[in-house]
Amino acid sequence: MSTRDERIWQQVRTLLHRATDHVQLIAPFIKIDVFRAVLEATPTSVRQIDCVTRWSVAEVAAGVSDPEIVQLVNEDERLRVRLCHNLHAKLFLADAVGLVGSANLTRKAFGTTARHNLELLVEVDADHPEIQHLLQHIELTAVPATEAMAVAIREQAKLLQEAESTIIVPGEDVVPAAWYPVTRRPDRIYAAYLGRADASPAVREGYVHDLAFLGVTPGLDEAGFNDAVRQRLGAIPEVGRLLKGDRLTNLDIQLSISKRVGLGQNEARRVAETIAEWLKHFDHFYMDVATWELRPGQEHE
C-alpha cells in the first residue's frame, strides 16, 4: 500500500512562501480543501492571487474538481478565479519564479493522501517564452467565474451522477452519456445556461437535465454556446445520419429511437418532435410538411 509523499506539496508551499507581490495558480482540477491550504500558505504581503481553472459538469460529477472554490473570493479580497475551458497546463507562479509540471491542486497530486499520484513539478522562470505564451492565451480567453456558474455546475453534476448510462473518465476526454433533449423550448436554453430562465419547477428541471448532458463549459457567449450544442446534437445517431445527408422523416427518427433505446411509441414520438425543434433552432433544419422530412435550410426555401 502506498504511503503519503508530500514532496509536491512541499515544493508548492516553499514556492508560495517566497512570494512577495503576486501569485498565479493555474490548474484544471482544484479541490476546495487543497485550495484553502494553498491560500493559507500564501504570505499576507502578497497583493494578488490569480487562479485559473476549468469547470466541466462531468469532471465535477467525477469528484476531481470543486466549483465551490469561487466562494473563497468572499473570504480573501486578493483572490480572483477565472475559467479557461481548454486548460490542461499546471503552473504555479510566485512573482518571477514558478513550478510547471503535472500536478493539479488536489490531495492525490500533492501526496497528502495514501493513494497519491506520481507527479512532477520543475522550477521555471516566469519570463520563459512558453510560460508567456500560456499566460497571454489565458488573458485572451479566460472568463470570470461566478457563484451562479458554480451552483449551476454542481446542480447539473448531481443529475449526471444519477444517470446509469453516464461514462466519466476523470482527467481527460469524457465519453458523453446517452442523451436526447427534453426541453421543448430550445430558444430558452441559453437563458437557462446563464441562470436567467424564469420557469416553473417542472420546466426548470428540463433545462437542468439538458444542460447537464450537454456538458457545455460555463462562460460562453451565445454563439459559442450554440456551436457547442450543435456538436452535441451531432453525436445523436439519428441527427448524425441527417448531417451526413440521409433523408429521414419524423417517423423514421421516432422508429429509430424506439428500436435503439426501447422507448414506447408515444415517448419516442415526443423525443423525435423535440429533436426537430432543437434542429430548427440550432442547426437550421425545417420540417417539410408535405413529406414530414427534416431538411437543412430555412422553411421558406
Give the amino acid at 68: E
- Do the beta carbons of residue 16 and residue 41 sit within 8 Å? yes
Note the residue count of the chain. 301
Bridge partner residues of 72 (DSSP): none
Instruction: Tell whether domain 7-145 is in CATH 3.40.50.300.
Output: no
Which pLDDT tens digits describe the chain residue by residue (301 residues)?
356 789 999 999 999 999 999 999 999 999 999 999 999 999 999 999 999 999 998 899 889 999 999 999 999 999 999 999 999 999 999 999 999 999 999 999 999 988 888 999 999 999 999 999 999 999 999 999 999 999 999 999 888 887 654 444 444 455 556 789 999 999 999 998 888 877 777 788 888 889 988 888 888 899 999 999 999 999 898 888 888 888 888 888 889 888 888 888 889 889 989 998 999 899 888 777 677 778 777 655 4
Detail the DSSP E strand segments found in 40-189. 48-53, 79-83, 90-94, 97-101, 121-125, 143-144
Taking each helix axis as running N to C, give the angle between helix 201-214 and helix 147-161, from 0 to 180 degrees, rounded to the nearest 10: 80
- Looking at the whole model, is its pTM more than 0.95? no
Residue 130, judged by CB atoms within 10 A of its CB (0-12, 13-18, 19+), counts as: exposed
Q: What is the DSSP string of 67-104?
A: GGGGGGGGT-TTEEEEE-TT---EEEEETTEEEEES--
Those residues with Cβ within 8 angstroms of residue 130's Cβ, 6 or more apart along the chain or in another chain: none
**Domain residue ranges of the chain, discontinuous segments joined by +:** 7-145, 179-296
